[in-house]
Amino acid sequence: MRILVVEDDQTLNRQLTEALGGAGYVVDRAFDGEEGHFLGDTEPYDAVILDVGLPVMDGISVLERWRREGRVMPVLILTARDRWSDKVAGIDAGADDYVTKPFHVEEVLARVRALIRRAAGHASSEIHCGPLRLDMRASRVTLDGTPLKLTSHEYRLLDYLMHHQDQIVSRTELIEHLYDQDFDRDSNTIEVFVGRLRKKIGIDLIETVRGQGYRMRDAEPGR
């Protein structure tokens, strides 16, 4: 999952980026509204954390422009304490949730997890596929109850596929959602990671759909 953080406060921006990175997300960062708007307009993010008070273009205007342009990604806004009017303006502009400063990073992480799983149509923070269980809170996957040892790349790939179960996910979509903007995007790497995941999972839950991409599904529904 790929997240955009738009926050002009260097320290906060870094704290959020590090916490999100530690939780297994790929993070792009912007420090003003114009840069943030551009990234959100051109890159496919699974969620955005958007500060309201930003230089060049304020967060509410950024959000209004995205929504006008048809960008539907979940957006969590960061508002200053005692600025209740920012929350109202933000939600009216199309924000999905808000956190008031000062905040605990854990709260932001929990809200981001909730936004992403709701956008993918999941109500709980655990996703199942056959014997696999993804625990979003712990960023962990178990197979028949035993933790799977995954690299961060493998985890991100499996996390994305499990969130989008029963859907065909193209290689391009995977590359766009699993790597940040500076990554050398070689589509062969996806095949390599899918191969490794298949080996670790043992049973074939990741189907190759010829010419289209991959689809994750429970081989034996009802198991």
Task: Please state the closest distance from residue 54 (CB atom) to Ca ion, in A.
Answer: 6
Task: Please state the closest distance from residue 83 (CB atom) to Ca ion, in A.
Answer: 11
For 3, residues 6+ apart whose C-beta sits below 8 A from its C-beta are 20, 25, 26, 27, 28, 45, 46, 47, 48, 49, 112
Size of the site for Ca ion (CB under 5 A): 3
- The span from the CA of 40 to the CA of 195, in Å, is 31
51 lies in the binding site for Ca ion (CB under 5 A): yes
Q: Which is nearer to Ca ion, 11 or 124 (CB)?
A: 11
How large is the C-alpha radius of gyration of the chain? Answer: 18
24 lies in the binding site for Ca ion (CB under 5 A): no
Q: Pick from 21, 53, 57, 103: which binds Ca ion (CB under 5 A)?
A: 53
| Cα separation values, 103 from 11, 98, 107, 111, 122, Å | 13, 11, 7, 12, 26
- The span from the CA of 176 to the CA of 67, in Å, is 21
86 lies in the binding site for Ca ion (CB under 5 A): no
Tell whether omega for the bond before 44 is within 30 degrees of 0, i.e. cis.
Answer: no
Task: Please state the closest distance from residue 176 (CB atom) to Ca ion, in A.
Answer: 28
Q: Pick from 2, 6, 8, 45: which binds Ca ion (CB under 5 A)?
A: 8
Task: Please state the closest distance from residue 9 (CB atom) to Ca ion, in A.
Answer: 5
Residue whose beta carbon is closest to Ca ion: 53
| Residues in touch with Ca ion (CB under 5 A) | 8, 51, 53
